[in-house]
Amino acid sequence: MFRRILSLLASMFILILPISVAGADGEASWWDASFQAMRYEEPHYGIVICNKMTVRSKASTSGRAYGQIKNGQPVKILGITSDGKFYVLDLPSCGFSGAASGTYGYAKASLIKMDPTFFYVKSTTDLYATPWGDGRKNGEQVGRYFLVISSYGGWYAVQTAESSPGTSFVRSGSIYMSYQSKYVVNWDAPLYEDEYTVVPLRTVKRFRLTGRLINISGDRTLLVFNEGSTDQFSAWIPSQYISPVIN
Q: Are residues 161 and 147 in the same domain?
A: yes
Residue 144: is its pLDDT beyond 60?
yes
Q: Are residues 124 and 164 in the same domain?
A: yes
CATH number, domain containing residue 43: 2.30.30.40
Q: Are residues 87 and 128 in the same domain?
A: no
Q: Which range is most confident: 53-67, 113-127, 179-193?
A: 53-67
Q: What is the pLDDT of residue 14?
A: 33
Q: Which domain holds residue 162?
A: 117-177
Q: Are residues 202 and 217 in the same domain?
A: yes
Provide the whole-model pTM.
0.75
Residue 235: is its pLDDT beyond 90?
yes
Q: What is the pLDDT of residue 100?
A: 52
pLDDT band for 25, please (50, 70, 90 cuts): low
Mean pLDDT rounded to a whole number for the chain: 82
Residues 6+ apart with CB under 8 A from 218: 195
DSSP state for residue 12 in the 8-state scheme? H
Determine what percent of the chain is predicted with pLDDT higher than 70: 85
In this predicted model, what pLDDT tens digit does every residue of 160-181 receive, in sequence order?
887 778 888 998 887 877 777 7
Q: Are residues 150 and 52 in the same domain?
A: no
pLDDT band for 10, please (50, 70, 90 cuts): very low
Boundary of a domain, candidates 69, 90, 114? 114
Boundary of a domain, candidates 62, 86, 114? 114
Number of domains into which the chain is organized = 3
pLDDT band for 152, please (50, 70, 90 cuts): confident
**Averaged pLDDT, 27-49:** 83
DSSP code per residue over 134-200: -S-EEEEE-SEEEEEEEE-SSEEEEEEETTEEEEEEEEGGGS---EEEEEEE-S-EEEBSSSS-SS-
Q: What is the pLDDT of residue 98?
A: 54
